[in-house]
Structure 1
């Protein structure tokens, strides 16, 4: 496979046939005595191009990789101001997986240049960009804290799990052949990631950030690659137009959490949950 095409395939989310133009949707999570419901689902990006990889910086700030006249750039949505705007990017290439820096001083994103160079950058509000991890072809990542980045980098067309400490400018490679979904676990000293098991399905693991040891959590449903933490003990995934939850305390099977309007969204893939747990962002195909 052409190497640049391979990198684009990874960053665009290994989309299946028919999923070439996903949109970012947003909704509210409402909890009362009768249970939890999803309400107010709306298409946030509403664009014919590629819109994907949402992440909440705050409850009122959502970042995502969006189509900008054929190039993928960083977009942000401020719910209080009720507007969507381009947050940054480079004419030299496209940006993917944007996330607010833990100190809120800028936005981190993977940039794939037209030359094939791929690095993790920090974008300041002024528009200036600097490489966060030199000489590492980062594909996906998350911040554990302001000093530690957990994610995977590309080497020999595989994804390798790494922890990078910014204060030491040092990268620790922990495991080869992992998945694309990384999340700091709310209220815990761990980051979750996925790895392919012997049946070809994705298993979720917790990486203890003190010992750097990994612990098995559960297997994702068949065909699912993406998940998020609904809270400190429950995982949430999407399939078609439905959402499912796995409770790590009960350790039962995945249970249906919500049925969304199939006339609005289908083929749900990536999910992001706001810090308060009251908002959810979904990537799916608009109907």
Structure 2
């Protein structure tokens, strides 16, 4: 918040994590006649910071990447016991994208070491012992076709390429450049789905990893990155707070599967289902209202680090309608650090709040240095951080 004076704002250095503040939610998928419904929502990560990339190890365990002690480890949620345990604690690096390996009591995960080395590892599910699976590829995302055939989105040439690897023969073959991160087995088939970004309109395509044959299924929801398959062959694809659906066998276009009207589910990124299609897990940015409230609490406590942490690195602050006051987290931190020190009676009370999509509009009543004033602040949240603030005074 500006609250609400113009400051002489000087440069300072402030380092923050690039990972957004996200949570993993689990739902039951219930069939009512021909209709599928999402029921019994629960936050299974409930952890400050980055929680992402869920996958089902089986029908009782959900794996996901979760941050703790400034690194990302693999967590496992036991559905029956409603309990989270830690699967890994790797001092030399962080793990991402935990995935069950077919027909093995093991998982694969991408490990990014503190040295910058990024490799795909196999982890024994009982003791967590790691073994490098592929040494010569920088794998970003992956899915198993079978226990020996791996399909990956590989980091190369400044983007992602679709690569099929045979772990027995050690052969790697690139099938396409400019692909996305969402890779899935297509139910009741010997095909893998991926997102092609070769054209302006992204396409969901199928790949036969053995023959190399590819086919277009449908254009993706514009600029949507993630999807999953239901057991009946329906694709689910989220964007913002809406999940769309499309079944290649019966549909000609996308339709809405579910719209989240609660404030917790704001911007859905990852989505996945269990093998038998009775549960769905998704990842959402922490709601814009929660981020703005966290910022308000830090402001009232004059906590400069907590306050600044809610803003993006490129935060832009305006006077209504479009007068740019300043830009950048460094300037924001420098100005507010001084302001907090000089204003011991600082307090802001919200009289009214409207949440609309990624925007939070607050009517504020302020006390500072014995003075009282009113103002309106419009916050715009992107990727879990406040990216723009417009003040009406």
TM-score w.r.t. structure 1 length?
A: 0.90
- The structure 1 segments of at least 4 consecutive aligned residues displaced by more than 3 Å after TM superposition are none
What is the DSSP-based 3-state SS (H/G/I as helix, E as strand, rest coil) of the residue aligned with 2:57? strand
Q: 1:215 maps to which residue?
A: 215
In terms of fraction of residues, the more helix-rich structure is 2
Measured after TM superposition, the shift of residue 202 of structure 1 is 2.3
Q: 1:22 maps to which residue?
A: 22
Q: Deviations over 1:195-241 (max 9, x none)?
A: 11432x42111001331111101111112100000224210011222
2:261 & 2:22 partners in 1: Cα distance? 16
Query: 2:131 aligned with 1:135, yes or no?
Result: no
Structure with bigger RCO (C-alpha 8 Å, 6+ apart): 1
Q: 1:157 maps to which residue?
A: 158
What is the DSSP-based 3-state SS (H/G/I as helix, E as strand, rest coil) of the residue aligned with 1:269? strand
1:123 & 1:261 partners in 2: Cα distance? 39
1:120 & 1:34 partners in 2: Cα distance? 40
Q: 2:234 maps to which residue?
A: 234
1:240 & 1:177 partners in 2: Cα distance? 23
Q: 1:3 maps to which residue?
A: none
**More displaced stretch, 216-225 vs 257-266:** 257-266
Q: 2:374 maps to which residue?
A: none
Matches within 5 A, 1:31-180: 31-33=31-33, 35-124=35-124, 125-180=126-181
1:89 & 1:27 partners in 2: Cα distance? 28
CA RMSD of aligned residues (A): 1.6
Q: Deviations over 1:36-78 (max 9, x none)?
A: 2111111111111101111112111111111122211111111
Number of residue-to-residue matches in the alignment: 270
1:87 & 1:40 partners in 2: Cα distance? 25
2:232 & 2:250 partners in 1: Cα distance? 13
Larger Rg: 2
Q: Deviations over 1:160-192 (max 9, x none)?
A: 111111111211111112110100111100011
Q: 2:349 maps to which residue?
A: none
User: Does the 8 Å contact 1:62/1:77 carry over to 2?
Assistant: yes
- Unaligned runs of 5+ residues in structure 2 are 1-16, 288-393
